[in-house]
Amino acid sequence: MTNEIDTIMEQFNDFVDGVRMIMITQRSKEGGKMNNPDKVSKRKISSNRIEFEAILKEFLEIKNLFPEKQLRIYGSVNERNFEKGIREFKRRQLEADYYDHESKCNFYLDIKNRFLGSIMKPGARVETKFLIDIDDIPSYWTNELYIKSIEEHLKKIGAEIIKKYQTKNGVHIITKPFNPSLFNGKFGEIKKDALLLLSY
């Protein structure tokens, strides 16, 4: 497993510093429905690459224990601002004072997830990188030619590519921000504050 950790840390070297959210979960189609009592889902925050690697190791151990669950590990593409996350959490906490009794209890009983949700709000990001999710590559294209045509399109509209990598069903391309209205939506979906697929 050490090799797997090293490979992921090297591949995503530019996305492990600072405050990051890391998650291990199942997709709904693979048994990860909300009402499934056997669903595996866990989220943690790292504040530097050492913590990131330790959490990654923990999640890979879980993933390898349950191969039948087809677990995936994700990390935030954009670094988070902890102070902004705290402010967003406090705003939500004040709102909770006006909830009905049951909803208020649910807020405090689920407080860790409420904070994780706050730090993952777009307003709590340090930077903005776009992730273009390409899943459906037409059968009449080869993967390489199709991705090359997307890269040429991105260059034409002034989008700077930071990274691209294979996913289970396609490709993710990470870019610096650009005018999304110029992007041809037939190529894929632009996600402005997405999660990197670290392992599947």
Predicted pLDDT of residue 95: 96
- Helix, strand or coil, per DSSP, at residue 189: strand
The DSSP bridge partners found for residue 22 are 44, 75
Identify the pLDDT of residue 143: 77
19, two tokens:
């405050």
pLDDT digits (tens, 9 = 90+) for 169-178: 889 999 999 9
The confidence band for 142, taking pLDDT boundaries of 50, 70 and 90, is: confident
Torsion, CA 197, CA 81, CA 193, CA 78, rounded to 10: -50
Question: Tokens 């999640």, residue?
Answer: 59
Lowest-pLDDT range, 28-42, 66-80, 111-125?
28-42
